Amino acid sequence: MAHQNSNEPLADLTRPGQSNSTGDARALYLKLFSGEMFKGFQRNTIARDLVTKRTLKNGKSLQFIYTGRTTAEYHVPGQSILGNSDGAPPVAEKTITIDDLLISSAFVYELDETLAHYDLRGEISKKIGYALAEKYDRLTFRAIAKGARIASPVTKANFVEPGGTQIQVGAGSDADDALNSGKLVTAFYDAAAALDEKGISNDGRVAVLNPRQYYALIQDVATSNLINRDVQGTALQGGQGIMEIAGIKIYKSMNTPFFSKYGTKYAPNSGAAAGTDPATINPGNTGSFVDVATEDARGSVAGVNGNYGNATDFANTCGLIFQKEAAGVVEAIGPQVQVTSGDVSVIYQGDVILGRLAMGADFLNPAACVELFAGTTTKPAAFGATYPANG
């Protein structure tokens, strides 16, 4: 290689960020960051693999078709066969609309990267992935609760299909029933029976509870036979479906609606509303992201094109049981990462790192949705569910 000054030779640099020693010196670094963001997303979302997921291109919504049942009848000799006289099976539709672009971003100053003794971009990328995953799960779980409260969209006379199921944990108006392992087990068997009666497949049945409910089931000697004996050691505490009740695999999440909040609700110091406050003691120093109220995600909120309800809609919700057909997630843009470069990076001496996602979620088959509730004997009311006429 020829150098500019033969009297002062320069070192031949190895640029580990280049692809095959050519082109952008940061090209491979950006790919590494993308991987970090995806790992952060995948490690913190469970809903994506538990429901029906579809990719949308060249449109704003995706249509799903419901086909109801039909009947069998005996043929009369000599009579032409022109379809059942009752016009069955009935057909209805469900449309899932994409919400606006969901983003999480950070500006990384180049000097900070130089001075930092750790992988600054990698840490930021994981937190961006966490933020997108959290929103993804929260919206999907709320859509399942929504589906558990309504009738089937197939409502043709004499051909009405099964709708959603709501099961009370316990029998009174004590919110602490939601944390009682024995009462939770009873609710699970009731849910399994209801799903059987409504013709829902055994395959892919799962439950999502909050951490304290999950650990209560593990600790209770009376339910110890429910623990999967093939799972040992630390995996037992992992919360990734290591326990089954009535064939329902159990997951834990801090993103499931729980008494108007997400994942947990602590006993208030005063002014407790009857039936909506479990006696869980606040462990202290929980920060700004625990014991957070369910945000408003109705169609009137900017960016929301569906209807995921408001905090008051989940005042007594304390768990979900569902099958894969319960809800659908439509993705127009899957989790992606974008990073500025070139002149923009020179002008600002740093990069904007952006994670983005365009998705929408809603229930599909209400019969596959089960909502657990406690602290009241009145089933939570339906919200935001309308259908077109049946065909």
Determine contact, residues 361/328, Cβ cutoff 8 Å.
yes
| Contacts (Cβ under 8 Å, ≥6 apart) of 179 | 212, 213, 216, 278, 280
Note the pTM of the prediction, 2 decimals. Answer: 0.84
Helices 211-219 and 181-197, interaxial angle, to 10°?
Answer: 100
Determine contact, residues 274/173, Cβ cutoff 8 Å.
yes
The class of domain 27-67+89-373 in CATH terms is alpha beta
Rounded CA separation 252/250 (Å) = 7
Angle CA(185)–CA(191)–CA(195) in degrees, nearest 5? Answer: 150
Question: Among candidates 124, 95, 157, 1, which has minimal Cα distance to 385?
Answer: 95
Give the count of beta carbons closer than 10 Å to the beta carbon of residue 251.
20
pLDDT in tens, the chain (391 residues): 454 555 655 455 565 666 777 776 666 665 555 666 667 777 778 999 999 999 988 888 888 888 888 888 888 898 888 888 777 888 888 889 999 999 999 888 888 777 776 677 788 888 898 999 999 999 999 999 999 999 998 888 888 999 999 999 999 899 999 999 999 999 999 999 999 999 999 999 999 999 999 989 888 755 566 665 555 555 555 555 567 899 999 999 999 999 999 999 998 765 555 578 888 999 999 999 898 999 999 988 999 999 999 999 999 999 999 999 999 999 999 888 888 888 888 888 888 889 999 999 999 999 999 999 999 999 999 998 655 444 3
Question: Among candidates 322, 307, 295, which has minimal Cα distance to 360?
Answer: 307
Determine contact, residues 152/370, Cβ cutoff 8 Å.
no
Q: Residue 146: its pLDDT value, please? A: 97
Q: Residue 238: its pLDDT value, please? A: 53
Q: Residue 81: its pLDDT value, please? A: 86
What are the boundaries of each domain within the chain? 27-67+89-373
Determine contact, residues 164/191, Cβ cutoff 8 Å.
no
Determine contact, residues 372/169, Cβ cutoff 8 Å.
yes
Residue burial 22-33, b: 16+ Cβ < 10 Å; e: rest: eeeebeeebeeb
Long-range contacts of the stretch 110-116 (C-beta < 8 A, 24+):
110/345, 110/349, 110/350, 110/351, 111/349, 112/350, 113/350
